[in-house]
Amino acid sequence: MPARGAAAAAAWRLAMMAALLGAALFAGTAARAGPVTGDAPAGRPDAIADLDTAAGLRLVRGEWRYADARVVEVEHREPGPDLKASGAPNRTWDVVPHAGAADFDDAAWSVLEPGTLQTRRGHGRLSFNWYRLRFTVPGRVGGLDTAGGTAIFEIVVDDYAEVWVDGRLPLVLGQTGGPLVRGFNAPNRVVVSDQLTPGRTHTIAIFGANGPLSDPPANFIWVRSATLELYAPGRAAGDRRVAADIVRLDPGLHAVLAHDPVVERIATGFQFTEGPVWHPDGYLLFSDPNANTIYRWSPDGQVSVFRAKSGYAGADVGLYKQPGSNGLTLDPQGRLTIDQHGERRVVRLERNGVVTTLADRYEGKRLNSPNDLVYRSDGALYFTDPPFGLPATHDDPRRELPYAGVFLLKDGRLSLVSRDLAGPNGVALSPDEKTLYVGNWDPKRKVVMRYDVGADGTLSAVRPLVDLTAEPGEDAIDGVKVDVAGNVYICGPGGVWIVSPLGRRLGTLRLPENAHNIAFGGDDGRTLFIAAETSVYRVRLGVEGVRPRPAAGR
C-alpha cells in the first residue's frame, strides 16, 4: 500500500502508541519500543520451581548433571561449488561431547547438589561446558492443576548459553534468545511444553560458554539462576484477546466465522505489517516494509528477525517510506519468494542462502515496486507492480514503466497480463486456479477484479467481483486471499471483507487497526492471520484456507 499523508501519519502514531499500551496491559509486561524477540513471553506464573534449591528440585523430581566440554581438531572439507562442505579436505575444530540429544548417556557425569549451580566451572579463558537437567511434570502444585498448562524454563548463564529442550535446538534465521545465545549474561527463556502432561519427563541440556569469545576472560562459567515457571492453560502469554466487530450481511458467513469468534493480537510493536505467509514447518513469516525487515512468529509467542534489509540497502534508503519487502509466498519447492520494494524486483531465497532474482525488468525497463504475489501449482508466478514502494509513488522520477501492471512469470519468461488498474495490489487464485483476483489500491475505485485464467496463464474476461468504493474508511483494497470453498477475503475499507465466489457480500471482520494483508495457517489451515499496521492478529475459521503447499520432500 502507499505511504500515508501527514494527518494519517499522526493518527497512525497515536494508534501505534495505543496498541503498544494495550499489549502491555493484556500481556502484563511493560510496553516495548519494538516487537518481542527470541525469548518466551514473561508473565506472572502460577508456580515457580527454583532449580538451584532442594525444594524446587524435589517439586519436579529434578536432577542436574555436569561435564566440561573441550575443543578438538577434526577432518572436514572446504566449500565446494554447491557452497556445502564438498570441496578439498581440510582440518578444523569441533566441540565434544555433543550432549544435546534427549537420550544422551550422561550417567558418568557429575551430579550437582542443590545450591551449587553458582560454583565456578569451565577452567576460565576460552572454555565450554554442559549442564543437563531431567525433571518430571508434577500433577498439582499448590492449587494449580498442571495438565494442559505451560512450562517455561529460564536460565542465566555467565556468560552465554544455548538451550536444548528434549533433544531439539531449533535453528531460526535471526533469532536471539529462546534456545540460542541471548546476550552477555542475559536470560534465556524457552517453552518446554504448552500442553503439559503430569508424569512426563523432560530433558534440558545447556551448553555454556565463557565470553566474550573474541577476548576470552579470566573468569569462569557459572549459573546465576535457573527456574521453571508453571502456568495454567492459556495463561503463559497473557490474555491476547481483543475486541472485534463482525458485520453479518449473509447467513453464509456462519460457516466461515463462529457467532462470537476469539480474535487475538499475537504480536505488536511494528511499524507496518504486511505480506504474511504460513510456513509448513510451523511458523508465520511477515514483512514490515517500513522497517525493511521480515519477521518470524512461532506458536510459542516468539518473534525474531528472519531477514534484515529485506527489500533495500541503498545509500538513499532514507528517502524511502517503505523500502523493505512486501508480499511473501512459497514456491512449489518450498522456497521463500519475496517482493522487494526498494530493489524493485521479485527474488527467491535459496536453501543455501543465495538470493536469485526472478524478475526486475520488463522490456528493458525497471519494475515499479512489486507488491503481492501468488504461485500457480505448475510454478507460474503472478505478481502486482504498483509504484507504492517508490519515494514519490506515482510521480517518482525513478519510475520507468508508465503503468502499474499485473505480471506473469512462466518458464522464465515475464509477460504483462493486465494494466487495467491504477494500483494493482492483492492477488489470489481461486481453488481451481481458473480465476485470478486482483485488488485495486485506489481511493477512487476500490474494486476487486476477477479474470479468467487460460491454460497458458493469460488472462481474459475481466469483470468486477465486488466494488467497495462507497464503503466508509480511508483504505482501498490491499491483501486478497481465498478459502477452499472459493470465498474471497479482502483487506479493504473497514476491515476484512468476506465475499462469495459470485460476489455476494457475506460480512466484515473489523479489528482495532486497519487490516492490510492475510494468510491462512496452522496445522489445519483454519487459522486466519491478519497483518494490520502495528500488529498481527489471528482468528479461527470454520473453513480451510488456500495456502502454498510445497511438494513433499521439499
Mean pLDDT of 487-510: 97
Q: Is the CB of residue 179 less than 8 Å from the CB of residue 163?
A: yes
Write down the pLDDT at residue 549.
80
pLDDT tens string 142-176: 889 999 999 999 999 999 999 999 999 877 666 77
Tell me which of 202, 231, 260 is where a domain ends: 231
The answer as to whether 545 is a domain residue is no
Q: Is the CB of residue 447 less than 8 Å from the CB of residue 467?
A: yes
- Residue 336 and residue 271 in one domain: yes
pLDDT tens string 214-262: 999 999 999 999 999 999 987 877 778 899 999 999 999 999 998 889 9
Question: What is the per-residue burial (b if ≥16 Cβ within 10 Å, else e) of 313-343?
Answer: eeeeeeebbbbbbbbbbbbeebebbbbbbbb
Q: Is the CB of residue 91 less than 8 Å from the CB of residue 74?
A: yes
- Residue 185 and residue 281 in one domain: no
The answer as to whether 475 is a domain residue is yes
- Residue 488 and residue 398 in one domain: yes
The answer as to whether 546 is a domain residue is no
Write down the pLDDT at residue 551.
63
- Residue 245 and residue 118 in one domain: no
- Residue 477 and residue 496 in one domain: yes
pLDDT tens string 33-90: 355 556 777 778 999 999 999 999 999 999 999 999 999 999 999 999 989 999 999 9
Residues 6+ apart with CB under 8 A from 301: 36, 40, 41, 191, 236, 237, 266
- Residue 267 and residue 172 in one domain: no
Q: Is the CB of residue 485 less than 8 Å from the CB of residue 446?
A: no
The domain of 60 spans 47-231
Grid cell 524493485 in the structure block, residue: 344
The answer as to whether 346 is a domain residue is yes
How would residue 474 be classed by pLDDT, with cut points 50, 70 and 90?
A: confident
Distance of CA 125 to the CA centre of its chain: 37
pLDDT tens string 167-203: 998 776 667 788 889 889 999 999 999 899 999 999 9
- Residue 303 and residue 192 in one domain: no
Average pLDDT of the chain to the nearest whole number: 91
Tell me which of 231, 250, 284 is where a domain ends: 231
